[in-house]
């Protein structure tokens, strides 16, 4: 059985003028390739009503063939982006030029690489050629992370697999001044707590963790990626602080949206 999708991430290397982005999607490469090329597929997933929607896509899917996407922003403003295919090797590689009016009609290059992995397809995207236009590179980095999220959610919904959620986990200590009045036993317990979360950080379940300097009394913050709240709760329930029976408890709240 294929695992849940990983959330996408992107890095904009402004010094090199290149964006690198990646996501793992729990469907075969053939399905992903069709979703990123077919004229009747891209308008189904590329966009969100609150930002913009792609309304039409045309594609002559061959080296030298032209492609064009058209859409409308949330403010009603129409837009387009276009280019030509450079490499077409279904279902593992697609390279194309990218020419957008909002980027001054500069020509850049987008390359998708699709690799079959145990839990589906690892999609890696490289967008290069921004040169010294650092703001454009940075903005496209944010944009591609959003676009791959839409693609991931679209294919996850098609297969019935729910994409992982992000949860705010607050560890409440047994007393407000806990951080300032630790006993030796409690110091040892907090070391176990830190080691536990550091291990989960390495596994990818925990995105970050650390103490928060609340004037009313410090508490622990964990940002957790999990398939649902029950999975996030299982992770926190296994925390040595909770297991100790010393009065620690977690409050868990789902994030409504995230920018990472």
User: What's residue 228's pLDDT?
Assistant: 83
pLDDT per residue as tens digits for the range 36-85? 999 999 999 999 988 999 999 999 999 999 999 999 999 999 999 999 99
Give dist(CA 95, CA 109) in Å, integer: 7
- pLDDT (tens digit, 9 = 90+) per residue, 168-208? 999 999 999 999 999 999 999 999 999 999 998 877 789 99
Give me the pLDDT at residue 1, please: 35
Placement of tokens 């992107």 in the chain:
10
The two beta strands, 107-117 and 93-99, are: antiparallel
Verdict on whether the full-model pTM lies above 0.75 = no
- CB neighbourhood size of 16 (10 A): 12
Residue 19, strand partner residues? 12, 127
Sheet holding 219-226, edge to edge: 206-212, 219-226, 165-172, 249-254
Report the pLDDT value the prediction gives residue 260, as an integer from 0 to 100: 59
Encode pLDDT of 21-31 as tens digits.
Answer: 999 999 999 99
| Two structure tokens written together for 32 | 């992903």
Q: How many angstroms separate the CA atoms of 173 and 242, rounded?
A: 10
pLDDT band at residue 161 under the 50/70/90 scheme: low
Burial of residue 111 (CB within 10 Å: 0-12, 13-18, 19+) is: middle
pLDDT digits 0-9 by tens, 97-123:
999 999 999 999 999 999 999 889 999
C-alpha–C-alpha distance, residues 67 and 81, integer Å: 9
- For 164, the token pair is 């992982």
- Between strands 206-212 and 165-172, the pairing is unpaired
Domains of the chain (ranges; CATH) run 9-159 (3.30.530.20), 165-254 (3.30.70.1060)
Q: Provide the pLDDT confidence category of residue 5 given band limits of 50, 70 and 90.
A: low
| For the chain, percent of residues with pLDDT exceeding 70 | 93
What is the band of 3 on the pLDDT scale with cuts at 50, 70, 90? very low
């Amino acid at each position: 059985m294929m695992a849940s999708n990983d959330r996408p991430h992107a890095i904009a290397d402004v010094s090199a003028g290149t964006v690198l982005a990646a996501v793992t999607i729990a469907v075969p490469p053939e399905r992903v390739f069709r979703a990123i090329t077919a004229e009747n597929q891209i308008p189904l997933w590329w966009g969100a009503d609150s930002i913009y929607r792609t309304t039409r896509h045309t594609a002559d899917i061959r080296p030298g063939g032209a492609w064009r996407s058209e859409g409308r922003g949330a403010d009603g403003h129409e837009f387009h982006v276009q280019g030509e295919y450079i490499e077409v090797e279904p279902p593992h590689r697609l390279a194309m030029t990218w020419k957008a009016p909002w980027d001054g009609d500069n020509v850049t290059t987008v390359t998708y690489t699709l690799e079959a992995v145990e839990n589906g397809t690892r999609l890696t995207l490289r967008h290069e050629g921004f040169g010294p236009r650092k703001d454009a590179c940075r903005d496209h980095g944010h944009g591609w992370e959003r676009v791959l999220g839409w693609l991931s959610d679209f294919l996850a919904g098609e297969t019935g697999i729910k994409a992982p959620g992000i949860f705010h986990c607050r560890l409440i200590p047994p007393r407000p001044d806990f951080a300032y009045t630790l006993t030796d036993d409690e110091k040892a317990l907090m070391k176990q707590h830190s080691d536990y979360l550091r291990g989960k950080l390495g596994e990818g379940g925990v995105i970050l963790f650390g103490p928060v300097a609340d004037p009313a009394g410090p508490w622990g913050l964990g940002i957790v990626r999990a398939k649902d709240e029950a999975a996030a709760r299982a992770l926190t329930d296994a925390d040595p602080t909770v297991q100790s029976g010393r009065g620690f408890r977690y409050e868990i709240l789902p994030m409504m949206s995230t920018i990472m």
